[in-house]
Structure 1
Amino acid sequence: MNNRLTERELKLDDRQQAILEKYDTESRFRQFNRRSLTFIVTLVAVTLSVYHFTTSYIGTPVTLQHRSLHLALVLALIFILYPAFQKQRRDVLPWYDALLALLAISTTVYIFQDYEGIIRRGGLPNEWDLLFGAILVLLVLEAARRVTGWALPLLAVLFILYALYGRDMPGILRHRGYSWDQLVNFLYVTTEGIYGTAIGVSATYIFLFILFGAFLAKSGMGQFFNDLALAMAGHTKGGPAKVSVLASGFLGSINGAAVANVVTTGAFTIPLMKKIGYNKNFAGGVEASASVGGQILPPIMGAAAFIMAETLGIPYTTIAVAAILPALLFYLGILTQIHLRASKDGLEGMKRSELPRLRDVMKERGHLLIPLLFLVYMLFFSGTTIIFSAFWTIVVTILVSMLRRSTRMSFKDITEALETGARTALGVAIACAAVGIIVGVATLTGFGLKLANAIVTLGGESLFLTLLLTMVACIVLGMGLPSIPTYIITATMAAPALVKLGVEPLVAHLFVFYFGIFANITPPVALASFAAAGVSGGSPMRTGFMSMKLAVAGYIVPFMFVYNSSLLLIETTVMESLALLLTSVTGVMMLGIAAEGYLLTRMHPLLRILMATGAVMFMNPNLIQDIIGFGVLVLTVAIQYYLNKRN
């Protein structure tokens, strides 16, 4: 039997597609029977991709025009592709959706046609400004509802109401109040509202890297990652679970879509995990936690890091370097529990005869690593801009794919990659536009600063208590939202509270970024875990709690780097980094041992508590705590050795 993932297997069957649509609203798009409608979709999508690809090399129009054109084409595609209601027919295009698509185009036509007039009026809108502004606000809200679900547009509506009626709010929430005309003007013809930083990053970095991911996928990168993971880890103890971690981590870093990653990769890895003896809830938890973790794994980090770089005004490479150790510790925690669970239950790996050979995998598709290595070189060592790096990386991907027949892209493949890239970017782009309303109102009314003050007040100026409150706020805000808008909202609302207590801005933003992402595996709304349960046949809630248990290091590591920013390789020496690496790796592995309740033999609950306590000693490392932590480890190992020998 050959367990390699074939091109045919990469296409989801009806059951898997139903699971994906249930938990990922972005996948609920129309599939037209009429060739004319299919051609229109392809034409608009390819035009969008070619526009961004071309302007990344020759330069973009002025900011407002560029962002408005990006959003207008995104909105047009959404109204063509996504039905207003889930149960509507998906093979026809209603007249009103065609009208909405044309209205979306009209909003950018107006900006291009009267750009000089808009600039001259400078905050004194005329009737046409207000009309097209109102149209855009309504279109963004409706498009966000269709693609992301109700949570994000409802939150945006609440912020709009707050802007309009905040003068009547009590206490610190009160502000001067704004009229509808003032609000629409601010959201439409400035770069602080809908056309703010979020949609700006979507129109540059995010779109290009999603396009890069589409070209990688078309060249066969998904199959390569799965084959590579199988060849490297499939034969080890609990091999399929380790394959899931490696493959999902690689792919998750590139595509940044946790739920889609769970269903596509999990459709292959979860049955293998169940086959060797892992129970279905554990198998689903492994896939969910590994897929979510891809978004904190450099070099791409699901594209959210680019927004962080733009928000903080620091180089992207600084963020990527800072995220390396926390991401590796997160995956180390998962792998530790996987290995211990296999040891505890007597599970073996797969037979080598069932696995691809590493040499054959590298020979057939190893050249696909060249674009990733080229990207790392361009981002970290070339000194060029991120946009220029993305442009040349896409070019290199196309050229490298030509080296072997199995990966070679035809003109049709390139066209399909351009269309897929645009389709994939729709969810992120419209979420960024909707978040632009939220961030715009927060900026206009000062709500973000007020919330930060409230969090600090509730925390009694205690850093630890403020961190706990911020963690809960980020997880709650992230429930049901895509990861990128979750980060933008939490960075606006929660991160300033930490900065007020003296936490470095980068550290604060990484903290809220982590917990916003972990909302996907934190019950009661753990969409990635629920999707994994749908694939594995397990219980959604049990799979959710299993995902949390496997990702326990991810809930601890952010606290560690807040108390010791050296973990992010910030202003640290080589020796300090090595010492910190030793203590943090030891602490994470001890945490995994305590969570699984097994080392050399099964552990008594009191011993598990002792081990967890020792792991926590490494959270805020100093010499005394390190000695206590290592003492607990030595004592636990000695007890386990004695019990194992006696048994």
Structure 2
Amino acid sequence: MVAEVESGSRNAAGFAGKVILSVAFIWSCFQIYIASSIPFILAEKTGLNFVFNSQEARQIHLAFAIILAMLAYPLLKTSPRDRVPLYDWALAIVGASSCLYLLYFKIDIDARAGLPTAADLVFSTIGMISLAIAVFRALGLPLVIVASVFVFYVFFGHLSIMPEAIMWKGASFSKAMWHYWMQTEGVFGVALGVSSSMIFLFVLFGSLLEKAGAGSYFIKLAFALLGHLRGGPAKAAVVASALSGLYSGSSIANVVTTGTFTIPLMKRTGFKPEKAGAVEVASSTNGQLTPPVMGAAAFLISEFTGISYPELIKHAFLPAVISYIALVYIVHLEALKLGLEGLPRPSRIGTLASRLANVLFGFIFVGVIAIAVYYVLGWVKVAFPGMGMVSASLMFLVAYLVLLSAASRHPDLEPDDPNAPIKMLPRPWDVAITGFHFILPIVILIWCILIERLSPTLSAYWATMAMIFIVLTQHPLKRMMRGQGLFTEDFKRGWADFLEGMIAGARNMIGIGVATGAAGVIVGTVSLTGLHQVVGEFVEFLSGGSLMLMLLLVAVMSLLLGMGLPTTANYIVVSSLMAPVIVSVGASQGLIVPLIAVHLFVFYFGILADDTPPVGLAAFAAAAISGGDPIRTGVQGFAYDIRTALLPFMFLFNTELLLIDVGPFKAVFIFVVAVVAMMLFAAATQGYFFTRNRIWETAALLLIAFTLFRPGFWLDLVQPPFDERPGSSVVQMAGDMPENGDIRFVVSGPDFDTGKIYTKTLLVPLGVPGDGAERLQRSGINVMVEDGKALLEEPFPGTTYFQTLSDYDFYGDTPVEISLVELDAERMYKEIFYIPALLLLTLVVMMQRRRQTVPAF
């Protein structure tokens, strides 16, 4: 199932099989090549051009993806699996040629910009058809249908059969083909650029990490740490899936990788097949929430929002951790309901004091290492600017040899039979010591991104190179350290793992490569037709202007599209159409919604679609292992994921959960409160806390969770959040604001299309101190105070607020003005509402403890 979905179900032998493997390996080598400094070194040494710019890299990237899609995925269910028919060879050649045509004739194409020749139109048409066939093979019919609807709208949007609300003038064939294929507004747009520059290397890194043995290591480590607890195998499945999510972008592959081991063990400890599969599904789909990869969408979110990748990781980290902790708690509640026990573990050794001392020493040891790495490498950067990479490489080598030497003193981890009885869990340290060296490349990746502030591409490149070094050397070095003599076979094993990792990485990218190309068709349609404004108006009409109802509609849209589209394509479609609308409607209702919160909202619901019946492929994969019913598995998995559905609504209205403008100490406080709130929400939705809930207890837990998540809601009911000042005071207020302060005001004026008066709230950053009018002007707001009114002038094209205010009619009889200035009111702390919430929680706990029959832990 994984092969059919992720990397192609054709297992061709002979020449065809060698071609597929060779093309996949060459694709991986090409991606490493363009990410390295080798092209620039070769160009400098030889005087020849070995450098591929972003547009050229996209063209070659898609050519590789189309070739492999045609060869590795059969066209139809009846097509042969053991050989490649002639028509597939022809389709692969034609599809790749349509991409490479742009590369070969790039100078001529640039010279005739916007004026395609007959050859341009022929190759563009062939390219679009080839892409559609590749998408159909790799991802199925749904994405082809969605993209075709958008193409149909471009050509026939002017026909009378179209609803008047979405009609447009239409486009000629030559204009549309040029837009879609010959420039970077369509297929070869931002999405494909992110796939070719960032996503591939992260997927390749994960593939090499898996082939090196890290997947098995993480599973065994999770079991050693958690297997002795109630529902231990299920808790271990959650943690193992979270660790796999660090490098895996696929929920289906995550299900099979960890589920093959965890699901049978969950069943043996008392979980029903559907619940065992559902735990694995919920764990694996949530793996796509885990930075740094986030199902390959992290890089797209960063690109579309303009937020740096390190900042995005910071915003996405807390919700992902909260979601996983809550899932572990849900598993714990299920184990309490079933009265399950943990797996046997070795007897504890030593007194309580000695065990506490060991734990304390462990924390101190890890902290000392972290501080040493941070400051030593930082000192190397300052003392030897030109030697930083060399020194860091030497430190990596020393750390690698030390950790590998420690691992060599213990036997290698062997695959276990999940159906065999477990007489005793291994000691956590005995498992952990065998694979600490797998963590080094992950440390390098995070170090490069967060400390060195390298680009995601370059960071993934260095992490991948470190991983390749480990894959090639770990087995022969271990044999040498153990004094076991010749290690020829271990060298061969390392090379085999390397080749398999490179090939698997490329094959796992086939679907993502063609999906981002198809998503470019949708984004290109939006940019050509302005469709997002039309769809936005339609959804706004359906919601009656209610932001909450609109969010529910967007969530449902994401879930429905996600049933047929991969997460990445689903995110691109919905965010392109709806993200600006949510921001605009929020502003009209006085809610300033950060763009990153909106994009994460869409992304979260796209992920939830992976286990949404009736077509959640992750649920089908889990059911194939558990022997349960796939629909019931999907329904149960979605029930476990309700807590994940709550988070996007919470962080839209309480952006502190995304650590926006939050200091480190407050971040810790927010984390603790949010974890407690999410666990209470989980207890309410599962109907079990210390014992089975009564109806009023469930309602009370929901109320407490809501209060902990959003205490500001109750404060707004008691005290207004803003002191209102007349709009005419905006210039004076702007002048009084401190350096880098923000001013919040309400814009009122006639709608450009309807002429009706409507309002929009803006939060404008003011920068350095100075005259109020000048500070506003520098921010892109031109104000003129006349007759006690602050009249707003139309922003210039290209300025910050040109698009934001483009729906106002600045030349009508009614002027556009700043009607109100809103200053933060001095109010009591919103956290005061935690007190009644905690008192109510105490009452619920006391009432449940009287009925409790099973220990809570």
TM-score, scaled relative to structure 1: 0.93
Q: Which has the higher strand share?
A: 2
In 2, are the aligned partners of 1:28 and 1:86 still within 8 Å (CA)?
no
Map 1:128-207 → 2, pairs under 5 A: 128-168=119-159, 169-207=162-200
Gaps of 5+ in 2: 40-50, 346-422, 479-489, 587-591, 713-829
Map 1:17-416 → 2, pairs under 5 A: 17=1, 20=2, 25-34=5-14, 36-58=15-37, 60-168=51-159, 169-352=162-345, 353-401=423-471, 402-405=473-476, 410-416=494-500
> Could you tell me which amino acid in structure 1 is paired with residue 69 of structure 2?
I
In 1, are the aligned partners of 2:448 and 2:454 still within 8 Å (CA)?
yes
Partner in structure 1 of residue 675 of structure 2: 585
Q: Which has the higher helix share?
A: 1
Q: Distance in 1 between matches of 2:833 and 2:635?
A: 30
Partner in structure 1 of residue 543 of structure 2: 459
Instruction: Verify: 1:634 aligned to 2:847, yes or no.
Output: no
In 2, are the aligned partners of 1:556 and 1:619 still within 8 Å (CA)?
no
Q: Distance in 2 between matches of 1:395 and 1:62?
A: 22
In 2, are the aligned partners of 1:206 and 1:306 still within 8 Å (CA)?
yes
Q: Distance in 2 between matches of 1:568 and 1:602?
A: 33
Q: Distance in 2 between matches of 1:545 and 1:124?
A: 53
Partner in structure 1 of residue 619 of structure 2: 529
> Could you tell me which amino acid in structure 1 is paired with residue 678 of structure 2?
V
Summarize the Cα distance change of 1:583–1:383 in structure 2 as closer, same or farther, 3 Å threshold.
closer
> Could you tell me which amino acid in structure 1 is paired with residue 83 of structure 2?
V
Summarize the Cα distance change of 1:166–1:646 in structure 2 as closer, same or farther, 3 Å threshold.
closer
In 1, are the aligned partners of 2:8 and 2:69 still within 8 Å (CA)?
no
Q: Distance in 2 between matches of 1:400 and 1:90?
A: 34
Q: Deviations over 1:80-138 (max 9, x none)?
A: 11111123221111111101111122123322221111001111100111010000000
Q: Distance in 2 between matches of 1:523 and 1:630?
A: 37
Instruction: Please state how far the C-alpha of 1:231 moved relative to its aligned partner.
Output: 1.1
Structure 1 residues 128-137 or 415-424, which shifts more?
415-424
Q: Distance in 2 between matches of 1:329 and 1:459?
A: 30
Describe the SS at the equivalent of 1:167: coil
> Paired residues, what number?
626
Instruction: Verify: 1:620 aligned to 2:620, yes or no.
Output: no
> Could you tell me which amino acid in structure 2 is paired with residue 488 of structure 1?
I
Describe the SS at the equivalent of 1:598: coil
In 2, are the aligned partners of 1:46 and 1:419 still within 8 Å (CA)?
yes
Q: Distance in 2 between matches of 1:565 and 1:225?
A: 32
Summarize the Cα distance change of 1:483–1:608 in structure 2 as closer, same or farther, 3 Å threshold.
same
Q: Distance in 2 between matches of 1:606 and 1:525?
A: 35
Q: Deviations over 1:495-551 (max 9, x none)?
A: 122111231111100010001110112233322223222221222232222112212
Q: Distance in 2 between matches of 1:429 and 1:80?
A: 15
Q: Distance in 1 between matches of 2:60 and 2:274?
A: 45
Summarize the Cα distance change of 1:645–1:422 in structure 2 as closer, same or farther, 3 Å threshold.
closer
Summarize the Cα distance change of 1:76–1:636 in structure 2 as closer, same or farther, 3 Å threshold.
same
Q: Distance in 2 between matches of 1:290 and 1:643?
A: 31
In 1, are the aligned partners of 2:95 and 2:131 still within 8 Å (CA)?
no
Q: Distance in 2 between matches of 1:172 and 1:47?
A: 49
> Could you tell me which amino acid in structure 2 is paired with residue 261 of structure 1?
N
Describe the SS at the equivalent of 1:491: helix
Describe the SS at the equivalent of 1:457: helix
Describe the SS at the equivalent of 2:79: coil
Structure 1 residues 466-475 or 606-615, which shifts more?
606-615
Instruction: Please state how far the C-alpha of 1:333 moved relative to its aligned partner.
Output: 1.6
> Could you tell me which amino acid in structure 1 is paired with residue 581 of structure 2?
A
Partner in structure 2 of residue 7 of structure 1: none
Partner in structure 1 of residue 606 of structure 2: 516
Q: Distance in 2 between matches of 1:275 and 1:411?
A: 38
Describe the SS at the equivalent of 1:254: coil
| Percent of paired sites with the same residue | 36
Instruction: Please state how far the C-alpha of 1:264 moved relative to its aligned partner.
Output: 2.7
Q: 1:596 aligns with which of 670, 675, 686?
A: 686
Q: Distance in 2 between matches of 1:579 and 1:457?
A: 40
Instruction: Verify: 1:644 aligned to 2:644, yes or no.
Output: no
Summarize the Cα distance change of 1:628–1:537 in structure 2 as closer, same or farther, 3 Å threshold.
farther
Partner in structure 1 of residue 724 of structure 2: none
Q: Distance in 1 between matches of 2:603 and 2:680?
A: 25
Partner in structure 2 of residue 444 of structure 1: 528
Q: Distance in 1 between matches of 2:229 and 2:260?
A: 21
Describe the SS at the equivalent of 1:618: helix
Instruction: Verify: 1:483 aligned to 2:557, yes or no.
Output: no
Q: Distance in 1 between matches of 2:24 and 2:611?
A: 32
In 2, are the aligned partners of 1:474 and 1:494 still within 8 Å (CA)?
no
Q: Distance in 2 between matches of 1:205 and 1:646?
A: 50
Q: Deviations over 1:554-608 (max 9, x none)?
A: 0111111101111111112344334422332221111111122222222223322
Q: Deviations over 1:472-499 (max 9, x none)?
A: 1111121121111111111101212211
Structure 1 residues 135-144 or 520-529, which shifts more?
520-529
Structure 1 residues 344-353 or 157-166, which shifts more?
344-353
Describe the SS at the equivalent of 1:255: coil
> Could you tell me which amino acid in structure 2 is paired with residue 319 of structure 1?
L
- Asked which structure has the greater RCO (Cα within 8 Å, sep 6+), the reply is 1
In 1, are the aligned partners of 2:6 and 2:511 still within 8 Å (CA)?
yes
Q: Distance in 2 between matches of 1:389 and 1:326?
A: 24
In 1, are the aligned partners of 2:7 and 2:72 still within 8 Å (CA)?
no
Work out which of the two has the higher radius of gyration on C-alpha atoms and give 1 or 2.
2
Describe the SS at the equivalent of 1:124: coil
Q: Deviations over 1:330-382 (max 9, x none)?
A: 11221111112212221011112532322222222221111111111011111
Instruction: Please state how far the C-alpha of 1:628 moved relative to its aligned partner.
Output: 4.0
Instruction: Please state how far the C-alpha of 1:28 moved relative to its aligned partner.
Output: 4.2
In 2, are the aligned partners of 1:25 and 1:149 still within 8 Å (CA)?
no
In 1, are the aligned partners of 2:597 and 2:652 still within 8 Å (CA)?
yes
Structure 1 residues 64-73 or 121-130, which shifts more?
64-73
Structure 1 residues 346-355 or 289-298, which shifts more?
346-355
Describe the SS at the equivalent of 2:708: coil
Gaps of 5+ in 1: 1-16
> Could you tell me which amino acid in structure 2 is paired with residue 448 of structure 1?
H
Q: Deviations over 1:69-90 (max 9, x none)?
A: 1111111111111111123221
> Could you tell me which amino acid in structure 2 is paired with residue 179 of structure 1?
S
Instruction: Please state how far the C-alpha of 1:642 moved relative to its aligned partner.
Output: 1.8
In 2, are the aligned partners of 1:473 and 1:494 still within 8 Å (CA)?
no
